[in-house]
Structure 1
Amino acid sequence: MSWLVFSYSLPSKASSSPRVTLWRRLKRLGAIAFNSVQVLPDRDECLEAFQWLAQEVQKASGEALIMRVEQFEGLSDSEIVERFRAARRDDYAELATQATALASSPASDAQGDLHERLEKLYKHYADIRRIDFFDCPEGAQVMARLNQIAEDLTPVSEAIAIVAAALDQYQQRSWVTRPRPHVDRLACIWLIRRFIDPKAVIRYAKTAAADEVTFDMDKGDFQHQGNLCTFEVMVKAFGLDNDPALQVLGQIVHEIDLRDGQYRQPQTAGVDALLRGWLLTDFSDTALELHGIALFEGLYATLAQERAIPLGSSAPQAAER
């Protein structure tokens, strides 16, 4: 394994302010201190972060050096990884304590205040997760705790019965949905290409032909049911709801589409901003589809890796037109 090493020095007469600023920046980057140097895994984003930090040091009339190290004498890669995990373990432990305090809040506390506190904990989790380079197991435990608190704060809704869909009945079919696909429809398109029919033909129109499969339209085969978005309905209908990564993906799509505060995942805000940006750039339906497939495939791969589960068997492909 390769590592990035950052060494710097500031003028002896420099005020304490630049030193404190650099220390805080390094802490936010997730760097680990080894004697007088700072270490990060050899990744593009880490190298870029150190390069920006080096510029800050030079602006303060100091000197900075970035090195790539293949091996530390007397210290194995596994020992270094454990130091990173130990640092994140401490971060997650602090967050878990705050989550326990929130869960123990008196029932008389205002719901709005509880949701606001929970939102801050989710943001804190996202900050830790960003620098959890080696997937500390405690991270998944804390996220599960936060999601349980969110569920406890959400009013109970009636269970919705979803009619099962036989996969073989949806092969080599033509699908149709409304033009200008956004989050729910883009996620459905990815799901169709990923798990149902990689070569499905998908058309964008306000009306459907008699033999077409409709989704996320006013009437048709797959649409919102109760408080479930179309993506969640399709996941359940095709029996894919035992996939943990798809469950989290469904929560992200649900929150962006319905905005009911039922789920809070750290990726939601970024995905939402990206999708809105695509609409503002006036992409064509085909461009939105291709970008959406790439986005949700990458997101699914990340979520699956975090949960140490194998990816689905079918890879998304462009539709034949």
Structure 2
Amino acid sequence: MKKNLLSWCCCFALSTAVLASCSKDEAPDPTIASIAVSNPDFQVLEDAAIRGEVAGILSNKNPNDPQGSGNFTVFAPNNAAFARLGLNSASDLLTLQKPFLTSTLLYHVANGTLAGSSLQTGSTSASALGPVRRIIKKGNDSYVNGSRILATDVQAANGTIHVIDKVLLATGGNVVESALALKDAQVFIAPELSFLVEAVLYCELQGPLSTTPNITVFAPTDKAFKELGVALGVPLNVPADIRKLPKATVTAVLLNHVLAGGAKFTPELPENTTVNSLGGAPVQLGTFTNGTITVKGTNNTTPATMVIPDVQATNGVVHVIDRVLLP
């Protein structure tokens, strides 16, 4: 089973170490899957591939390669990338719904060969899942969406691997549909963003947030809303408690979490500056550090940090944060 899979990812950092260890007497190009299992730094990726039932796919040639060579290209997250999401072992993967896990793995795969030299700023590539990923340059580093590319062009018999430092996430739905998927436990086994969804429905913003293109949304967790209730002296124990607050106030707060004028992944957000939210109030962005950036509303004493950054939706990018941004 381990030979299977996504060891594909594993393949990743095998980088020079693994490749250099192959003797000249061995087959010159092992498959993506067989490269993967040999490197313990891709254990979680391998476990994910097994549970997501995409194991056999990357052990074989790709019949859908438009270039006719039978190749895949895989952006492979290492163990540290999964750890950012609290996924440190095979048992942790059980907190994810299997269909979402499978979709997430396919978002890391492209049909055909994408050489490292082709990963130029502004270029895009379609994934096996469907949504398109884009290449971003910041400083001396290149990113695919918000994930830094650590190594490129690890060759296998059935394709190419590029190693990345964050798991790529895409929902296949718009911003509101993405929040609903979390709230309805279609992503994690436990519901999340339930208070945010209730607030959006209360303020009748589901239409604009579903159709407005190219927005960046900061999405507070359920815990963030509960902590806000404590600070306000208005207990927010269940999502319906949001309706205890004035509708105009909740609307102003929600619009403070939306930036228009571009769907921005973390390396694209202008660090150490102030930008206007869709509601007109300023939002302060901090320093881009280790793939995340802090964000602070006018009346926040402490900046919010990103819990899950760089979630691609069809009409924007969502960053899940640990505080409600107060205008």
Shorter-normalised TM-score: what interval?
under 0.3
Q: Which structure: greater strand fraction? A: 2
| Larger of the two Rg values belongs to structure | 1
TM-score of the pair, normalised by structure 2: 0.25
TM-score of the aligned structures, taking structure 1 as reference length: 0.26
